[in-house]
Structure 1
Amino acid sequence: MSNYNIIISPQSLSDMRTMGVPQIISVVLLLLVITADDSQSAKILGLFPFPARSHLISITALMKELARRGHQVTVVSSFPSPPMANYTDIIVKDTFPEKDSINFFEFFDEGMFSWLKIVFFWHMGLSTCERALQVPDIQKLIHDQNLDFDVIIFENFISECFYGFVHKLKIPVINISPNSALLAMGNPVGNTYNPSYMPDSMLGYKDHMTFKERIANTLITLLTSVGRRIMYLPRQDALIRKYFEDSSFPGIAVLEPNASLYLLNTHISIGFPQPYTPNTIEVGGMHIKDPKPLPKDLQKIMDEAEHGVIYFSLGSNVRSSDMPKEMLQVFLDVFSKLKQRVLWKWEKDSLPGQPSNVQLGKWLPQSDILAHPNLRLFITHGGLLSTQEAIYRGVPLLAIPVMGEQKSNAERAKESGYALMLDWRNITSESLNSAVDELINNPRYRENVQHLSVLFRDRQQPPLERAVYWVEYVLRHNGAPHLRSAALDLYWYQFYLLDVLAVVLGVVLLGLTGSGLTCWTIYRVFFQKKKSNPVTKSKKMK
């Protein structure tokens, strides 16, 4: 942390002699406030190179708040932010240009085997990492011998090659997750991932799984964990040694357990209960702010909608304009017959067959739209940020998940009673119209989400305040090593008590073997000897 020297000149002392007691007290208090504020000022490096705007929304809210509180914040990301004091952007562009050409409807059309796309994400991580490390501004950071930061905040989501900065700077690191607890990010701080009741987010299971689901969940968890350690991380290690020109890099698997803090973008009211280590902090919803006034055209539409408004958006990665033709026609048919106005996030300039009650927009202020009292229904892909915003605003959902953890989010929303879910592969005019009608006209969905909204908001402190507090806690306590779990110092066989189990089984087997031999010896000595006596006697008689 940095400190400033406050210099009081002789002229200043002379001026103070002419002041009254109240003025002098005010000056002293002002100096104390200035020095107190500055003593907490830190230099923070944020590493978020993964090219997903949805991931950055919640993370940027935290980084900007830290800057507003006087910290010097430097952020590495794929998307620039509006200029502000104490905030420096380093942009890594075109790290995965193939993403823009991917039609996620086609890419994830694989039913139950869609979890295998983890291999694609690993490839994406390696590709984006290598391109990002070649960016001139990143190379400048890598080779800067005077690089000075107090803490790193890192989205450890298929961007592991940036652990090179953790090794270079040797300062505390805070992991931040764009969604709920991920195996790859949770284990490094000591959280126990139990597949018997913690479903993999790619499968869409609930926490109460059937026997068949527990088998699948366990196998996938094991394959993902082992595959990441054997196939993926060594290749990320190689990138670090190459671009940081550091052959002494010990490996990501060695550095990951040293994370000081793990910030989770979730909350117990919308997730599955599970145990966390003390340095795992839930901060879900920290990107949600008080609603801003809508643009005049949108405000007019929503104010004048006699029967209310339906908002339709599939997020920042899945594009509505990539829908299969049959699916698109279903939405056009159903929307054209609705009494409600529809706001549709559509990525192209026009929509052939656009109904008169549908308003298009390439970008729409989603959170502010959801806050309008005339908003009746949110048709969504089930992304975590969208789900959190809908819960916070008390809006029912029609979820149409496409990829990743979206199905898990949709299943939880459905189970909580404020949503219905449709499979985009089998969607029909009848199923869509029925779901929309049910969600709009049955009040229980809005009642359920408004109850959940109360739970989501009911916290000791707002999530953004909580996140800032814990970042500054790590700064105040030099990485807060007292929060670190001893589980991180155990080998895997020690963690699962396999060595203890082996000894116990060995003692039991030894005892059983010894008892068996003793019984056999007694049997031989006493019983077999008695049986042999008649034979001996008969021989003597002959």
Structure 2
Amino acid sequence: MDTMRVLGLLLMLAFLDCSSGARILAIVPIPGRSHFIVFSSLARELAARGHQVTVMSAFPQKTPIANYTDISLADELGVLGSVNFFDFGSLNPVIMMLAMWGIGSTLCDTMLSQRVVRNLINSEKDQFDAVIVEAFFNECFYAFAHKFKAPLIQYSVFGGNLAVDDSVGNPTPYSHVPDPMLNYGDHMTFCERLKNTLFSLYSAAGRYLYYIPKLDAITRKHFNDSTLPYLGDLEKSTALLLVNNHVAVGFPRPLVPNYINVGGLHIKPSKKLPEDLQKFIDGARDGVIYFSMGSNLRSSHFPEEKRKALLETFASLKQKVLWKWEEDSLPGQPPNVRLGKWMPQADILAHKNVRLFITHGGLMSTQEAVYHGVPVIGIPVYGDQELNMVRAEAAGFGIQISYSNLSKEAISWAIQEIISQPRYKENAKRLSSIFRDNPQSPMDTAVYWTEYVIRHKGAPHLRSAALDLSWYQYHLLDVLAVLLGAVVLVLLVTAFVLRALYRKLFHKTKSSPKNKSKKRD
């Protein structure tokens, strides 16, 4: 009898546990693997904690995961392997932003047209307790939060920008918060502050006057819902903004309560390396240099002269080099260089023999380098990569080499500088300590706030009142206009009174009897 009671109690507890899980729709439609790696870390963890997670992405899981359901966009979107992202390095920030608006509009129209997405748009049986959307030119997918009457959670895989800040009413002082497209630090010169302000105003004006209206029309075409709010208003319903940022690799800035930094979310405890790779690094008496340009930039797309400069430099080193190279062979490969189409980057950086990481400066790579205390040489090409390397130089754990100036002389000097000067390694270790010193892990933080928003039905008490103000009210331009008007009025009244007094005194002096008698004499 006691055994039956115990079994019954266990069965009841099991059902209670299952019923407590939320139904979450996670959308990461950009077909970039680096974006998905970070985003999917949160999705898999939510599934592991008992939530039913449906993930719409171009990277479906190869093996089934409990509580994790794929809506695959792989056939429609593919992977960006054929695109040469080095071409983006020639675009200035203004053109780059225009290009991103165009790409965002095209991708939204394309993705919302796909059969699997339309099935979800037209579904009458699916229900979700929260909708998580990657904050990267995917605003059209906010409409799913309205459709399912669920809190909207945004997740930014990079350090955030004006657009994601505005979605939760977060202040963005142009005086010390640089736009990710610009390569400025938080202590800007007058000229830099001027350029940062002008570019930010251009981005805001273009986004709200051109991009969002265009995207709103595309969204309405596909959703065909007369109750759908304007996309700009729907964006302001964001209940939570999770940002892949950490003060150790960023700059301090003001944050509203529902803007949560979860930098390093994708970093996991180090695993043992494959045996052959372990042997290669263990046997490097002078250390190893790890070289990777990330998941979108392909080393095989390097122009001939830059590839030759890298090969000649690596051949002259006594260190071994691990190079993420996407082709089967590399002409002129030196004997101290080992190639790999894919490498367990974080696990490699965790090895004590790794002396240096040569990187494109992507945020996730920078975070992994800091987490493991490895100094970096950055070769930024586009986006926020240059800003990340500006931060690395400012923090003293990295050196930036302009892609346009990449040469044997430049890369050789940078390698010898970092390897021969202990301060780079010391600063990397210092920042690693700061990066790891958190009250709870980034993953636990992200999961806690996601569940918090679900528990509290969107947590409207976290919403900033700034979202209800017009742009001129937010910047106090109406107050400034009244104050200036009051000052002008006071000055006018003062001028009128002084003029009246002057005229009265001057007229009295001219018309006095004494003056008149003098004229008669």
TM-score with structure 2 setting the length: 0.95
Match of 1:290 in 2: 269
Question: 1:147: how far off?
Answer: 2.3
Superposed, 1:20-59 pairs within 5 Å as 24=5, 26-27=6-7, 30=10, 33-59=13-39
Match of 1:88 in 2: 69
Structure 1 stretch 419-428 or stretch 207-216: which is displaced more? 419-428
Alignment-mate amino acid for residue 199 of structure 2: I
Match of 1:232 in 2: 211
d(CA) in 2 for partners of 1:104, 1:538: 96
> Which one of the candidate residues 449, 460, 476 is aligned to 2:455?
476
> Which one of the candidate residues 251, 256, 259 is aligned to 2:238?
259
> Which one of the candidate residues 211, 235, 257 is aligned to 2:190?
211
Task: Please tell me the root mean square deviation across aligned C-alpha atoms, in Å.
Answer: 2.0
Kindly indicate whether the alpha-carbon contact (under 8 Å) linking 1:377 and 1:396 is maintained by their aligned counterparts in 2. yes
Superposed, 1:526-541 pairs within 5 Å as 526-533=505-512, 537=516, 541=520
Report whether the alignment pairs 1:174 with 2:127: no
Match of 1:71 in 2: 51
d(CA) in 1 for partners of 2:12, 2:226: 47
Report whether the alignment pairs 1:406 with 2:385: yes
Match of 1:6 in 2: none
CA deviation digits over 1:65-122, x for unaligned, max 9?
0001110000111111232010011122366679544322233225xx2442111111
d(CA) in 2 for partners of 1:96, 1:184: 25
Superposed, 1:337-376 pairs within 5 Å as 337-376=316-355
Kindly indicate whether the alpha-carbon contact (under 8 Å) linking 2:377 and 2:400 is maintained by their aligned counterparts in 1. yes
> Which one of the candidate residues 13, 36, 61 is aligned to 2:41?
61
d(CA) in 2 for partners of 1:355, 1:379: 17
Question: 1:430: how far off?
Answer: 1.9
Question: 1:285: how far off?
Answer: 0.6
d(CA) in 2 for partners of 1:96, 1:117: 22
Change (3 A) 1:308 1:539: closer
Question: 1:149: how far off?
Answer: 0.4
Report SS of the residue matched to 1:402.
coil
Match of 1:5 in 2: none
Question: 1:431: how far off?
Answer: 1.8
Match of 1:436 in 2: 415
Kindly indicate whether the alpha-carbon contact (under 8 Å) linking 2:88 and 2:381 is maintained by their aligned counterparts in 1. no
Match of 2:503 in 1: 524
Question: 1:179: how far off?
Answer: 0.9
Report whether the alignment pairs 1:302 with 2:281: yes
Report SS of the residue matched to 1:299.
helix
Question: 1:37: how far off?
Answer: 2.5
d(CA) in 1 for partners of 2:8, 2:483: 69
d(CA) in 1 for partners of 2:371, 2:417: 21
CA deviation digits over 1:488-532, x for unaligned, max 9?
111111111111122222222222222222222222233313213
Match of 2:162 in 1: 183
d(CA) in 2 for partners of 1:98, 1:455: 35
Match of 2:2 in 1: 19
d(CA) in 1 for partners of 2:77, 2:390: 30
Alignment-mate amino acid for residue 129 of structure 1: C
Report SS of the residue matched to 1:122.
helix
Match of 1:497 in 2: 476
Superposed, 1:77-116 pairs within 5 Å as 77-82=57-62, 83-93=64-74, 99-110=80-91, 113-116=92-95
Alignment-mate amino acid for residue 380 of structure 2: P
Structure 1 stretch 86-95 or stretch 443-452: which is displaced more? 86-95
Change (3 A) 1:505 1:142: same
Report SS of the residue matched to 2:357.
strand
Report SS of the residue matched to 2:236.
helix
d(CA) in 1 for partners of 2:240, 2:344: 32
Change (3 A) 1:518 1:466: same
Question: 1:204: how far off?
Answer: 1.0
Kindly indicate whether the alpha-carbon contact (under 8 Å) linking 2:216 and 2:230 is maintained by their aligned counterparts in 1. yes
Alignment-mate amino acid for residue 38 of structure 2: S
Identity percentage over the alignment?
Answer: 50
Match of 1:148 in 2: 127
Kindly indicate whether the alpha-carbon contact (under 8 Å) linking 1:149 and 1:169 is maintained by their aligned counterparts in 2. yes
Kindly indicate whether the alpha-carbon contact (under 8 Å) linking 2:58 and 2:78 is maintained by their aligned counterparts in 1. no
Kindly indicate whether the alpha-carbon contact (under 8 Å) linking 1:95 and 1:127 is maintained by their aligned counterparts in 2. no
Alignment-mate amino acid for residue 496 of structure 1: H
Match of 1:14 in 2: none
Alignment-mate amino acid for residue 286 of structure 2: H
Report SS of the residue matched to 1:382.
coil
Match of 1:7 in 2: none
d(CA) in 2 for partners of 1:29, 1:400: 60
Report whether the alignment pairs 1:449 with 2:428: yes
Match of 2:442 in 1: 463
Change (3 A) 1:98 1:177: closer
Task: Count residues with an aligned counterpart.
Answer: 520
Report SS of the residue matched to 1:261.
strand
Report SS of the residue matched to 2:318.
coil
Kindly indicate whether the alpha-carbon contact (under 8 Å) linking 2:58 and 2:77 is maintained by their aligned counterparts in 1. no
Match of 2:260 in 1: 281
Kindly indicate whether the alpha-carbon contact (under 8 Å) linking 1:51 and 1:78 is maintained by their aligned counterparts in 2. yes
d(CA) in 2 for partners of 1:450, 1:327: 31
Kindly indicate whether the alpha-carbon contact (under 8 Å) linking 1:237 and 1:251 is maintained by their aligned counterparts in 2. yes
Match of 1:10 in 2: none
Kindly indicate whether the alpha-carbon contact (under 8 Å) linking 1:391 and 1:452 is maintained by their aligned counterparts in 2. yes
Report SS of the residue matched to 1:88.
strand
Kindly indicate whether the alpha-carbon contact (under 8 Å) linking 1:394 and 1:453 is maintained by their aligned counterparts in 2. yes
Alignment-mate amino acid for residue 524 of structure 1: R
Kindly indicate whether the alpha-carbon contact (under 8 Å) linking 1:45 and 1:74 is maintained by their aligned counterparts in 2. yes
Report SS of the residue matched to 1:158.
coil
d(CA) in 1 for partners of 2:133, 2:144: 10
Change (3 A) 1:95 1:499: farther
Change (3 A) 1:39 1:532: farther
Report SS of the residue matched to 1:108.
helix
CA deviation digits over 1:363-409, x for unaligned, max 9?
11111111122211111001011011111111111111111100111
Alignment-mate amino acid for residue 163 of structure 1: Y
